[in-house]
Amino acid sequence: MIDLSTKIGPLLLKNPVMTASGTFGYASEFKDLVQLDELGAIVTKTVTPEARPGNPPRRIVELPCGMLNSIGLPNVGVDDFIKEKMPFLQTLNTSIIINVAGTSENGFVECVDRLNDVDGIAAYELNYSCPNVKQGTSFSSDPQIAERLTRRVRRTTTRPVLVKLTPNVTTIAEIGAAVENGGADGISAVNTVVGMSVNIKTRKPKLATITGGYSGPAIKPIALAKVYELTRNVSIPIIAVGGIATAEDAVEFLITGAAAVQVGTAHFYDPRASIKMITGMENYCKENGFDRISDLVGSLNL
């Protein structure tokens, strides 16, 4: 038996495979396709203090090497989230991580405060990095704001706090250091890369919001470089996200120093992509002489 468990600060996961926020709904949508309890963790679609309708269509564009989205954070708001989505999540035997955002710093704090009374939540992932709403990435573009907001949330909860960062900055390590100073327990890196696509017949942008967030295989090397930069400059665990679709992809990130991975865009063409990855990782460990997956983390030969 290979020990696949991994630690993200105080959070112990049975294996390093998580679902990326926004690509796995609220898990109930996948219950007939996937043994949900086998996942290391499930990260829910972002919840905000108030309900939001999201952006106007067109919201998704499929491209040769990835996907552009501008969904705009649609959700039922934290009160209805607790009533409608949490009861199913509470039946699962895996770690449930709630992705939280606000349009202001107070919004993040309010949302976490409201969720603190709810059972069955293993951690929060603060979404400082939505590229598709006004102010969405401002929380992870300015180190002072990132540190201040993380400190405020840290004081609001005893649960583990993860922060999801944008790759659309010059030096992600600066932002990583700021959230570490603010008291974050881990960093999810990275959210989507700002991108754009144009219809050459109409000469109009394909997305209603003109630009959107680019994800999928094309961004894997970008994410890997950002994870590498973070692991060299912060001490808290890094959760890798960006173009991870197979066990081999995941292993690259673990070798580079990520303590866990998230699967996102791959779920749109294979709902079982994350589950399959767990067996693939176990096989890699067996074939390469690792009894514990944690021994692989940060084993990059330089």
DSSP the chain: --B--EEETTEEESSSEEEPTTSSTTSGGGTTTS-GGGSSEEEPPPB-SS-B--PPSP-EEEETTEEEE-----B--HHHIIIIIHHHHTT-SSEEEEEE--SSHHHHHHHHHHHTT-SS--EEEEE---TTSTTTTGGGT-HHHHHHHHHHHHTT-SS-EEEEEPS-SS-HHHHHHHHHHHT-SEEEE--PEEEE-EETTTTEESSTTSEEEEESGGGHHHHHHHHHHHHHH--S-EEEESS--SHHHHHHHHHHT-SEEEE-GGGGT-TTHHHHHHHHHHHHHHHHT-SBGGGTTT----
Does 132 contact ligand RRO by CB under 6 A? Answer: yes
Does 191 contact ligand RRO by CB under 6 A? Answer: yes
For residue 285, indicate whether it is catalytic: no
Q: What does the per-residue mask of binding to ligand RRO show for 91-130, with x meaning CB under 6 A?
A: ------------------------------------x-xx
- Of the ranges 11-19, 65-73, 270-278, 293-301, which one interacts with ligand RRO (CB under 6 A)? 65-73
Catalytic residue among 65, 111, 130, 285: 130
Does 44 contact ligand RRO by CB under 6 A? Answer: no
Does 242 contact ligand RRO by CB under 6 A? Answer: no
- Of the ranges 10-18, 70-78, 237-245, 247-255, which one interacts with ligand RRO (CB under 6 A)? 70-78
Does 192 contact ligand RRO by CB under 6 A? Answer: yes
CB of 53 to ligand RRO, least distance (A): 12
Does 137 contact ligand RRO by CB under 6 A? Answer: no
Does 166 contact ligand RRO by CB under 6 A? Answer: no
Q: Which of residues 194-213 bind ligand RRO (CB under 6 A)?
A: 213
Catalytic (active-site) positions: 130
Per CB under 6 A, residues contacting ligand RRO are: 22, 46, 69-73, 127, 129-132, 191-192, 213
